[in-house]
Structure 1
Amino acid sequence: MITILLVGCGAAIGAILRYQLTRVGTQIASEFPLITFLINLTGSFALGWLTAAQLGSPLTTFFGAGMLGGYTTFSTFNSELSQLWFRQRYHIFFGYLGLTYGLGILVAAAGYLIGQP
């Protein structure tokens, strides 16, 4: 039961943080979904760091599965990719796809290396 509460509370905090950042980000006029991109990169970095830091099961559950699970935006990412594809913005589509996955892996690795004891 405690695990469910840790994940749920962490996810709520992560979702609220993501919502606030997205709301502020709507003031940036761009076809490239910059806020979702930055949210996913910072989330990847934080999860890499958290994995290496080995903080213990309750903290990892709260921050990893909970907060970072609620913070990162895989469904939004895919929705934005679909919209770019259907609007025939192929150069932005492929740039967003490649940069998100490519840089996501790199920042997760950087977070892991920094988080090692």
Structure 2
Amino acid sequence: MSALDPGVVAGVAVAGGVGAAVRYGVDTAARRAVPGYPLGTLVINVSGAFLLGLVTGLLASDHLGTALATVLGAGLLGGYTTFSTASVEAVVLLEERRWSAAALHAGGMLLLGVIAAGAGWWLGT
């Protein structure tokens, strides 16, 4: 697979769109379930970290090919997860002087994301 394999590029593009659509659905459902707190982004980024850890672990243990791992990782999970939204949500919580919620959101997402990625990696290998 070359860096610009047209099939992989197309797969990443399509999978990225699917990931973004799934992210929108998860976020919309979470905002309805827990108004006032950005739970959707937390769920999305932690589950995405787990899934990317899984994909990476499967790739490292030769259970997944590079092209498919790229489409799933860069495409699907790249479209699904969102660091920038999480950052802006933390800033909004700080602007609203919701210090505990901001700390929980930013710190909790980082800690849970690392744990989830490690669990996915472990499962994949």
> In the aligned structure 2, how far is the partner of 1:108 from the partner of 1:3?
24
> In the aligned structure 2, how far is the partner of 1:87 from the partner of 1:68?
30
The correspondence for 1:110, drawn from 107, 111, 119, is 119
* TM-score normalised by structure 2 residue count: 0.88
When structure 1 is superposed on structure 2, of 13-22 and 23-32 the one drifting more is 23-32
The RMSD of aligned alpha carbons is 1.1
* TM-score normalised by structure 1 residue count: 0.94
Match in the other structure for 2:37: 32
Match in the other structure for 1:43: 48
User: Any runs of at least 4 consecutive aligned residues in structure 1 with deviations exceeding 3 A, and if so which?
Assistant: none
* Structure 1: gaps spanning 5 or more residues: none
> In the aligned structure 2, how far is the partner of 1:111 from the partner of 1:104?
10
Say how many residue pairs are matched: 116
Letter in 1 for 2:7: I
Deviation (angstroms), 1:24: 1.8
Question: Percent of counterpart pairs with the same letter?
Answer: 35
**1:38 partner SS:** helix
